[in-house]
Amino acid sequence: MKMTRKFLLVFALILILPIVAIHQGIVRYSENVMQANIIENNEIMAELIVNRMNSEMNDVVSQLQLVAGLSDQHRLNLPMMYARAKQAISKSTIIQSIYFLDTDRRMLFEAPFRPEIQETIFDYPKFDHVKWSYTYVVSGLISNIRNEKSVTVAIPVFYDDRQFLGVLVAELSRNFLSNILRSTSETREGFSFITDNEGKVIASTSDFDWNVDFSEEPIVQYLLKGDSGSVLEAYRGTKSVMTYQTMRENWGLALGVPEKFAFSSVQTLSKALTYSFLGIFGFIGCLIFVGGRQIIVPILKVTKFAQRIQSQKGPAPLPEPMMKRKDEIGELIRTFQDMNERVDRSHRFLQDIIEGIPYALITLNEKGEVTRVNRKWVELFGKSEAEWEGKRLTEFPGYQFLKTEMNSGEREATWTDEDGASRILNVVTASFYDGLLAVVQDISQIRMLESHVKQSEQLALIGQITTGIAHELKNPLAVLSSSSELLKEEIVHSPDSEWVPTLVHDIDSEIARMTSIVNEFLTLAKTKKEAIGPVQLDDLLNRVLHLLRIKFNELGIEVRRDFPDYVPAIAGKTNKLIQVFLNLLVNSMDAMPRGGAIDIRILVSADEAGVEIADEGDGVSEEHLQWLFNPFFSTKENGNGLGLSIARDIMKEHGGSLEMNSGKFKGTVVLCLFPLGRKEDGQ
């Protein structure tokens, strides 16, 4: 299609679409008004029918209560009840028969034709319900003694002392119920019906619907849920405007009008509008044909000029006469020239950014093809830009850490180069409108440095307790020295002295004590991998406090324990958890050079256990608190900033968390939370 025809089509659509929208708006508005009117009328009719039904039901109950009236002797007078039943039937338009069932469900009479019935048992479905209701019960469709479908109203018959005598049942005229529906139907095309609590039709404007199961109809499904309202739904395959209402006897009422009859006047209006608008379209077509050339031809010339600019690689100078035009075309040409220059500057600026960042960068399109790599990428992974660009990433083995379906985020990956050397890469990915951007940094040296620093941190912690261990060994050594001297003297002067065994026992005890101290130190100093096993937090904390007790005494720090009687075991690595609590307690100790108190509590809930350590130190300011867990950040003059970072990593390794709350000159509270029920995986 030529450009002229395209613009003619655009002009036609611009004029036609509003007219079509107006046409549809008028039709839709008319339909909405008509539908609202029908719904309002349906709701009024439904309310009238429900009120009429309630009135009729109340009248039936009153008639049955009159029929059931007892004599002064408080016994059943069946002939009197039969006579009253016949009289009630003759006066009522809704009652077609009345029968009485005694306590054994024997039918004793059926008015108006059978005053006495011998040995006829009728299992009335609502018998037990009526017996215990003390009021009245309305049934759905049931089979009567003649196996005919009927609906009934039943009341219990009692003495004054509430002795149950039987059930009095009135069968209702379904023709009368259907006539009520027909008398309130707004149009002859309309429909209405009443269903029982199983969705079966009790009465309908169409006698052919009697006893039919309507439970699959959408409108009946609303009624079965106990809802009331109005809806535009399919009824017997025909879309209809319907109102539905739940009645108090668990019956449901539905009435409505098929859409094709409800909106017939709107359809007539729609045809009239369509013919009118077709005439308007013809007139508009003539205007477009006549005036199109005067508008479109200049635009076509400007379009061709813009295409020539687009086909050139660099900025193209525009013809001077066209640049000097004072009309809209001249303004459009100058705008194109300015846009061309801006795009060229933006392209050069973006190129400088991509090549200037100190990280490897790659972009992929939605097909997984490489669209751009920078100089750092070429230096890191080899191959030239031409070898990368335009190729699918799957063509290069070993780059599985980059996938087009990756979400935006940051992660670490391992990559092996052509020489077999393994490198740790930090990969940051971000999705954009038609692909993926990835920035890659080689962090192998950083991770190696972090590993060395973490090991140094552990050794520094061991150094913190070395002084205490040395002090612990002094006392046993002094005892050993004095005991050995005494033992020598006793052996020389009196080998059989009773002091010899005592001195030997003292020497053995001190050796065992020294062995225990050395073993504790060696256990802490182990750096090999440790298996996960059950850990008692109270025992572990007591062990750590034992290691630090000399330093606490030197600084005048009081340790207050608050441990529950029963502390469940957690799954963890003992030595790593010792390192966590050593880090935290050493931090608290460093924060209180002038002494103070440290409160240690163990908290236990249904699914987690926690350790809370609160000190009375100077605390941490709010601006520093958010950086405490960052590696190499420290508020101490001689700190390396890795203690809390390592502690948090160990807590994450155990599936737990480390939280800190502090303020300047307010002390610090650290909470370590561990999940309970974590499986021991032996790692």
Domain that holds residue 491: 443-528
Write b or e for each residue in 445-458: b if 16 or more Cβ atoms lie within 10 A of its Cβ, otherwise e.
eeeeebeebbeebb
Helix (H, G, I), strand (E, B) or coil at 212: coil
Domains contained in the chain, number? 6
pLDDT band at 435 (very low <50, low <70, confident <90, very high): confident
Q: What's the mean pLDDT in 228-237?
A: 86
Predicted confidence (pLDDT) at residue 412 exceeds the cutoff of 60: yes
Q: Are residues 438 and 554 in the same domain?
A: no
CA dist., res. 221 & res. 234, Å (int): 12
Calculate helix-pair angle for 174-184, 3-67, nearest 10 degrees: 140
Q: Are residues 393 and 339 in the same domain?
A: no
Q: Are residues 479 and 432 in the same domain?
A: no
Predicted confidence (pLDDT) at residue 610 exceeds the cutoff of 90: yes
CA dist., res. 363 & res. 466, Å (int): 54
CA dist., res. 581 & res. 461, Å (int): 11
Q: Are residues 448 and 559 in the same domain?
A: no
Q: Are residues 161 and 245 in the same domain?
A: no
Among 139, 172, 205, identify where a domain stops.
Answer: 172
Report which of residues 211 and 497 the model is more confident about.
211
Q: Are residues 503 and 546 in the same domain?
A: no
Among 111, 137, 172, identify where a domain stops.
Answer: 172
Percent of the chain residues past pLDDT 70, beyond the cut? 69
Q: What's the mean pLDDT in 485-501?
A: 71
* 643 assigned to some structural domain: yes
Stated pTM of the model:
0.40
Q: Are residues 672 and 537 in the same domain?
A: yes
Q: Are residues 581 and 663 in the same domain?
A: yes
* 418 assigned to some structural domain: yes
Q: Are residues 112 and 234 in the same domain?
A: no
Calculate helix-pair angle for 444-493, 574-590, nearest 10 degrees: 90
Q: What is the pLDDT of residue 295?
A: 53
Report which of residues 543 and 527 the model is more confident about.
543
Helix (H, G, I), strand (E, B) or coil at 243: strand
Q: Are residues 432 and 377 in the same domain?
A: yes
Predicted confidence (pLDDT) at residue 383 exceeds the cutoff of 90: no
Q: Are residues 536 and 680 in the same domain?
A: yes
Q: What is the pLDDT of residue 527?
A: 46
Tell me the pLDDT of the chain averaged across its residues.
77
* 300 assigned to some structural domain: no
pLDDT digits (tens, 9 = 90+) for 613-644: 999 887 776 666 665 666 655 556 555 556 67
CA dist., res. 244 & res. 435, Å (int): 53
Q: Are residues 372 and 429 in the same domain?
A: yes
Predicted confidence (pLDDT) at residue 97 exceeds the cutoff of 70: yes
pLDDT digits (tens, 9 = 90+) for 233-246: 888 888 888 899 98
Can you give the CATH number for the domain in which 643 is found? 3.30.565.10
Predicted confidence (pLDDT) at residue 294 exceeds the cutoff of 50: no
Among 506, 528, 550, identify where a domain stops.
Answer: 528
Q: What is the pLDDT of residue 98?
A: 93
Report which of residues 95 and 591 the model is more confident about.
95
Among 211-215, 381-385, 588-592, 645-649, the range with the most confident prediction by mean pLDDT is: 211-215
Assess contact for 204 and 3: CB atoms under 8 A. Answer: no
Calculate helix-pair angle for 444-493, 499-525, nearest 10 degrees: 180
pLDDT band at 5 (very low <50, low <70, confident <90, very high): low
Q: What is the pLDDT of residue 683?
A: 39
Among 352-356, 454-458, 571-575, 660-664, the range with the most confident prediction by mean pLDDT is: 571-575
**Angle of CA points 581, 585, 588, to nearest 5°:** 145
Report which of residues 80 and 328 the model is more confident about.
80
Can you give the CATH number for the domain in which 415 is found? 3.30.450.20
For 102-120, the DSSP string reads ETT-BEEEEETTBS---S-
Write b or e for each residue in 260-269: b if 16 or more Cβ atoms lie within 10 A of its Cβ, otherwise e.
ebbbeebeee
